[in-house]
Amino acid sequence: MTGLPSQLATIADSPRILVRRPGSPRTPARSVVYWMQRSQRALDNPALETAIAVANTLGLPVVVYFQVISNYPNANLRHYHFMQQGLVDLASALAARNIGFVLRRAPEASLEAFLEEAEAAILIGDENPCREPERWRQVLASRLRIPFWTVDADVVAPSALFNKAYVLLHHFRPHLHRALPDWLQPITPLTPTHPWAPWKPFPTWDPNQDITTGFTKLDRSIGPVDTFTGGTTAALARLREFTTTQLRTYDPQRNHPEVRGTSQMSPWLHFGHISPLTIALEVQRAALRGSVTQAIADKYLDELIGWRELAVLFVRHNPNYDNWECAEPWAKKTLLAHAGDPRPWLYTLPQLEHAQTHDELWNAAQREMVTTGWMHNYMRMYWAKKILEWSANPATAFDWAVTLNDRYQLDGRDPNGYSGIAWAIVGKHDRPWFDKPVFGLVRPMSGERAAQKFDARQYIRQHPPLSTV
Express each pLDDT in 216-227 by its tens digit: 999 999 999 999
Stated pTM of the model: 0.97
> What pLDDT was estimated at residue 468?
46
Q: Give the C-alpha distances (Å, rounded to integers) separating 176 from 63, 159, 185, 280, 376.
A: 34, 10, 14, 14, 26
Helices 377-389 and 415-426: crossing angle in degrees, nearest 10, is: 50
Q: Which residues of the chain have pLDDT under 70?
A: 1-3, 467-469
CA distance 44 to 65: 18
Question: Which residues make up the CATH 1.10.579.10 domain(s) of the chain?
Answer: 324-462
* Strands lying side by side in the sheet with 31-35: 17-21, 148-151, 120-126, 31-35, 62-68, 100-105
* Domain 232-317: CATH class, spelled out: mainly alpha
**Which numeric CATH code is attached to 6-153?**
3.40.50.620
Express each pLDDT in 244-276 by its tens digit: 999 999 999 999 999 999 999 999 999 999 999
CA distance 104 to 157: 32
Contact assessment for residue 207 and residue 231, using Cβ atoms and an 8 Å cutoff: no
CA distance 199 to 27: 17
Contact assessment for residue 353 and residue 222, using Cβ atoms and an 8 Å cutoff: no
Sheet strands (E) in 416-469: none
> What pLDDT was estimated at residue 2?
54
CA distance 283 to 277: 10
Residue 436: beta bridge partners?
440
End-to-end C-alpha distance for the chain, whole angstroms: 55
> What pLDDT was estimated at residue 4?
73
Residue 66: beta bridge partners?
103
CA distance 276 to 160: 17
**Which numeric CATH code is attached to 324-462?**
1.10.579.10
CA distance 449 to 361: 12
CA distance 171 to 421: 20
CA distance 35 to 62: 11
CA distance 126 to 35: 7
Query: How many C-beta atoms surround the C-beta of residue 178 within 10 A?
Result: 11
